[in-house]
Amino acid sequence: MKTLSTMILTAFTLAALSASTDISGKWEVEARFDDQNIEAGGFDCVVKQQGERLTGKCSDGTASLNGEIDGQMITWRVSNSEQPPVTTTFIGTLNRTGTTIEGRFNSGTRVGRFAAAKS
């Protein structure tokens, strides 16, 4: 059984690791819908991190990205340039090295899985 001091030390270590991980840069995203009849695919995003806030552009600048990072949990909201914009929400877990994210996404009532790799 872990002691309270061991749990506190572990929490501080994880917080320090996540605080030092800057995910700014170019990410390659591959997505697939749970419904195999709906086509998905890949796109790139350029992400800028400022503290816990994330901003950026995706799909050669035709879509905007905003979101948050909380430890290893990341939420991205990507909105296209249509009026009104269609927003897809990506929620995933960042690996310890800060180079990959895996998780789920939803776009309206459609859902799926995604993987992203920092390039």
Domains of the chain, residue spans: 4-118
d(CA 1, CA 19): 27
Return the H-helix or E-strand segment holding 18. helix 4-20
Statement: residue 7 has pLDDT above 70:
no
| Mean pLDDT confidence for 16-35 | 84
Please report, for residues 26, 39, 58, 112, the alpha-carbon distance to residue 109 in angstroms, rounded to integers and kept in the order given.
Answer: 28, 15, 22, 10
pTM of the model: 0.81
Q: Does the domain made of 4-118 have the CATH classification 2.60.40.10?
A: no
* pLDDT mean across residues, the chain: 87
First to last CA, the chain: 40
Statement: residue 116 has pLDDT above 90:
yes
d(CA 51, CA 20): 10
d(CA 28, CA 117): 5
